[in-house]
Amino acid sequence: MEILKDISDVIFQGGDERLDLLADGKNKYHINPLEFDGLLNRGSCTCSTLNHQTVSVLDETGKFETSQNVIETRNEQIRRIKELLNYEGKDEFGLIFAPSGSDLAYLPILFSKILHPEKDILLILTCPEELGSGSQMAYLGKYYAGRNQFGNEVEKGEEVNVRYDVNLARFRARNDEGRIVRHSEEISKVLLQGPTQSKIGALVIGSKSGIEDDISMIPKLDQEVMWVVDLCQFRNSKRLVNHLLGMGCMVMITGSKFYMAPPFCGVMLVPRKLTEKLNNTSLDSNLTEGFDKIFSYYDFSEEFSNVRNNFPQKINRGLALRWEIALNEMERFNEIPREDSLRIISEWNTVIRNCIDKSEVFELMPHQEKTNQSIISFRVKSRFGTYLSYDDLKEFYKVMVKGSYEIGKFNKVFFGQPVKYSCGAFVRVALGANNIYNLLKIDPATRFENDREFMRILDEKASRFII
């Protein structure tokens, strides 16, 4: 029997090297998912910690004790996700689990090749600079990391399967001034080209700074396009998820950004029409070679009976544990009336924007009003009248998250890592599900005092940092 002596250690298993703790006991994001006491978390990246509510999952050792326990837990998780995201009486999608959004990015090209084995692939990608660090390499069909979810080494940058020829057309998120760029017309023109290619459109609703692509283009374009929409921030409603599925889109979500589970836990929702098409297609096993180092039989829900038989029967305890934590957060947040959560987000957004407006060193990113309200992105001015560079902001971020403070009951802070665009960079603060849950319990008169103090400290440290 495979007994887990310390369930907490499993959080660090079942993913690439970004999960590893370094010499200082922190991961590459400068946190440890198990160290949450005293942490004021206003992050928007895949790097949250446990919290006082979700830590109870670590007591549920029976769900992770043996391989069979993990398989049963995974099946239960599939049921719970479907219950959360389907409308009553409906079952609109199959699921494929993966540690991160970057892993999920392999699926569109895999499915495209299964359905059209004789065709090269044309993949349209928006907001490439605001996606996960490995997503572009994954969309190109290359290993984006040096280790897979099963703990095996792979060659970073090597082609997963040499039979795949992917042409990637990138459409950047922002112009040189930092303004959000809309690409509907350009995307339409590119997709109308290459009639012999298998076409994939990869859009995003909720990039690192909350950018939302124009999905109205989807029904207007070639019906042969395979669409995948990145909802990995998952700051969206069930209504939007079902709208996208109804248009035939695959939908990528994670539990480790808005829902603040430890990194990494992702899942792809695949509409019924596509799962049926995949099951009715004769599958050449040569086309799944290499991808069997990325996915397991147990990553696929039963809708993929034809596909999953080509993958090894390996389990991932770490991924199952992280999804258990994420689902607890999702179900708890689902009990909050939507109008209450939207009100808290709106009030918080106003408070933070006021703090930034009063600052002499912070400046909101252009088009902030066009992004998700629960993420606020801003640049830091330098003493030369320009802005701090990406490298400068990385150092500022590191100094901040490693420091000690006095903010109510909190003595540590965490916020969104710097994001680079063509001619600049910015940092972010964001609200997640657990933040909203806890803010609702605070008297409205003092609800955002900690956020104001956090922004004051951030402002003060930034002013000193650039001297």
Domain ranges of the chain: 63-330
What pLDDT does residue 2 have? 46
Summarize pLDDT for 329-361 with one digit per residue, the tens: 999 999 999 999 999 999 999 999 999 999 999
Long-range contacts, stretch 364-372, CB < 8 angstroms, 24+ apart: 365/178, 365/209, 365/426, 366/174, 366/177, 366/178, 366/179, 366/180, 367/179, 367/180, 370/180, 370/211, 370/212, 371/180, 371/209, 371/210, 371/211, 371/212, 372/206, 372/210, 372/212, 372/233, 372/235
- Pairing type for strands 412-421 and 424-430 reads antiparallel
Alpha carbons 267 and 316: distance in angstroms, whole number? 14
H/E stretch holding 157 = none
Q: Which CATH architecture has domain 63-330?
A: 3-Layer(aba) Sandwich (3.40)
Closest by Cα among 90, 99, 109 to 160? 109
Q: Which two tokens stand for residue 282?
A: 């004769």
- Predicted confidence (pLDDT) at residue 100 exceeds the cutoff of 70: yes
> Please, which residues bridge with residue 425 across strands?
420
Give the Å distances, CA to CA, from 210 to 13, 110, 406, 416, 431: 29, 28, 30, 12, 12
pLDDT tens per residue across span 403-414: 999 999 999 999
pLDDT, mean over the chain: 92
Instruction: List CB contacts of 27: < 8 A, sequence separation 6 or more.
Output: 18, 19, 20, 21, 33, 47, 263
Please report the pLDDT score of residue 178 as a whole number. Answer: 85
Distance (Å, rounded) from C-alpha 99 to C-alpha 152? Answer: 14
Nearest to 426 by CA among 365, 369, 355: 365
Q: What is the mean pLDDT of residues 374-393?
A: 93
**How many CB atoms lie under 10 A from the CB of residue 35?**
13
